[in-house]
Amino acid sequence: MSVVVVATITPSEGHYDEVRQILLDAIPRVHQEAGCERYSLHEDGERLVMIEKWESAEALDTHSNGEVLRDAGRAMAGKLAGKLDVRSLAAVPAGDAAKGAL
């Protein structure tokens, strides 16, 4: 069963562009990871939000403990306003099957 993750990253003052670029650089590497179905960055000018979809909890676990996130975490050290807000979610499909779930 697929797992959807929403991760909200809040850069500290003066580090928004740098944190954004760290994430942009990581995305192509994550797209190559086994089980990655979606890994897309969204922003509102204050926060960066990664919306992810993994083919399984095992694929997510491998990603969560992998080199790409380790590298990005090191690069973002001291540049965040607080902890990442990471939520793993289960879909509640409704309506049109293609539109009612990620």
- Domains of the chain, by residue range, sit at 3-89
What span, in angstroms and rounded, lies between the C-alpha atoms of 81 and 66?
23
What span, in angstroms and rounded, lies between the C-alpha atoms of 35 and 52?
11
pLDDT for 49 equals: 98
Q: Please check whether the domain covering 3-89 is classified as CATH 3.40.50.720.
A: no
**pLDDT 10s digits, 67-95:** 999 999 999 999 999 999 999 998 888 99
* pTM of the model as a whole: 0.92
**Residue ranges in the chain whose pLDDT is less than 50:** none
